[in-house]
Structure 1
Amino acid sequence: MEEFSSRSVLTGREREIFTLLIADNTTKEIAGELGISEKTVRNHISNTIQKLGVSGRAQAMIELIRLGELSID
């Protein structure tokens, strides 16, 4: 398993997007909230999925929580 340094796996924008995803927002809602296009939201999600080596949004959220990158509040 790859070791992550104390540096965050996520960029600031990816963190914003996944925090909103965990709060059960849709891609459209996230785009509106952040003032970016839905395609940009999807690109950030895809980039994060690739970085983590997982196969989907749900697995990415679980892995980010496991890594301590995100929490469920």
Structure 2
Amino acid sequence: MKENEFTHKPLLTKREREVFELLVQDKTTKEIAGELFISEKTVRNHISNAMQKLGVKGRSQAVVELLRMGELKL
């Protein structure tokens, strides 16, 4: 087997990660949208998609799970 066959694939997309990195900085949906030049609806969609991938029901649960998995740093 090749060494890189089992490389870790990130759970989140680049944009989902950017949204959560700003979320843990206590940014609002509106502030995140402004910083990333996307709509507030798109921010909510990224958060919702990530929560679905993680199998959690809330933003705070998603943050805790991402931190636990090492997918997000404070």
Give the TM-score normalised by structure 2: 0.89
Matching residue of 1:69: 71
Percent pairwise identity: 68
Between the aligned partners of 2:68 and 2:55, the Cα distance in structure 1 is 14
Matching residue of 2:20: 18
Query: Could you list the runs of 5+ residues in structure 1 that have no partner in the other structure?
Result: none
Equivalent residues in 2 for 1:1-73, closer than 5 Å: 6-72=8-74
Structure 1 or 2: more helix by fraction:
2
Root-mean-square deviation (CA, aligned residues, Å) is 0.9
Aligned length: 68
Larger Rg: 2
Between the aligned partners of 1:67 and 1:8, the Cα distance in structure 2 is 11
Paired letter, 1:31: A
Corresponding residue SS for 2:35? helix
Structure 1 position 6, deviation (Å): 1.4
Give the TM-score normalised by structure 1: 0.90
Query: Could you list the runs of 5+ residues in structure 2 that have no partner in the other structure?
Result: 1-6
Between the aligned partners of 1:15 and 1:50, the Cα distance in structure 2 is 14
